[in-house]
Amino acid sequence: MQSVSPRVRALLAAVLCVVIALGAALAVDSRLDRHWILRGLTLFLALCCAALLLTDQSRQFRLVITAIGLLMFGLVFPVTTTIWATPPEIDFALAVATDAKNAAVKDARSAVTVADVKAAAEARGGAVGSLKTEKSPQVRGADAFPLIVRAKPDQGRPRACVSFVHGLDAEVRAC
């Protein structure tokens, strides 16, 4: 790679980082909170590492540090945040949101109701609302959006929150 000028290396590294960051962001379901701040920060750091390649690399040590930073911020962080974006409780909530939307569309309604989400969660073997315990005897998140969706009726945490904005557009996030 010594035959390629530092400017070309920096440009190629920057383009590769942007492509990986965009691919990782688009690989996640659009109904999820995509952690845009974290993704933007890692892209910024990757581009900073690529910019370091523009400078004259007189020491091998600086080149190694720049390459490791580019690898971490340009590849490892975007890929791992994409892989970790859908744990099992989020997958369950996404399936419930899809079922609730399908029920509303089937009934020719322009909005998903709390009853649609409850029916979809129960049909998949889950429950809506926080788990009632001695410590917190009041059930939360069962009457209005955002609803707390649990994959199993006796599961306390982890859980996900589902809301519907603009009628049929679901938003799912950890809660």
Domain boundary among 83, 118, 144: 83
Q: Do 93 and 155 belong to one domain?
A: yes
User: 135-141 long-range contacts, Cβ below 8 Å, gap at least 24?
Assistant: 141/175
Question: What is the number of residues in the chain?
Answer: 175
pLDDT at res. 144: 81
Asked whether the beta carbons of 113 and 136 are under 8 A apart, the reply is no
Q: Do 66 and 122 belong to one domain?
A: no
Please give the span between the terminal C-alpha atoms of the chain, in angstroms, as a whole number. 47
Q: What is the pLDDT of residues 125-151, one digit of tens each?
A: 998 988 777 787 787 777 888 888 998
Rounded to an integer, what distance in angstroms lies between the CA atom of residue 171 and that of residue 163? 5
Residue 152, classed as helix, strand or coil, is: coil
Is the model's pLDDT at 120 over the cut of 80? Answer: yes
Q: What is the pLDDT of residues 66-102, one digit of tens each?
A: 788 888 888 888 878 777 767 888 889 989 999 999 9
Local structure of residue 113 (DSSP, 8 states): -
pLDDT at res. 116: 93
Kindly tell me the burial class for residue 45, based on how many C-beta atoms sit within 10 Å of its own C-beta (0-12, 13-18, 19 or more).
Answer: middle
pLDDT at res. 29: 65
> Considering the domain boundaries, does residue 45 fall inside one?
yes
Provide the mean pLDDT of the chain. Answer: 81
pLDDT at res. 32: 66
> Considering the domain boundaries, does residue 132 fall inside one?
yes
Most confident region among 26-40, 65-79, 106-120 by mean pLDDT:
106-120
The range of the structural domain enclosing residue 119 comes to: 88-174
> Residue 57 — φ and ψ, nearest 5°?
-90, 85
Number of helical (H) and strand (E) elements in the chain, helices listed first: 6, 4
Q: Do 79 and 93 belong to one domain?
A: no
Q: Do 71 and 33 belong to one domain?
A: yes
> Considering the domain boundaries, does residue 1 fall inside one?
no
Domains of the chain: total: 2
CB atoms within 10 A of CB 46: 26
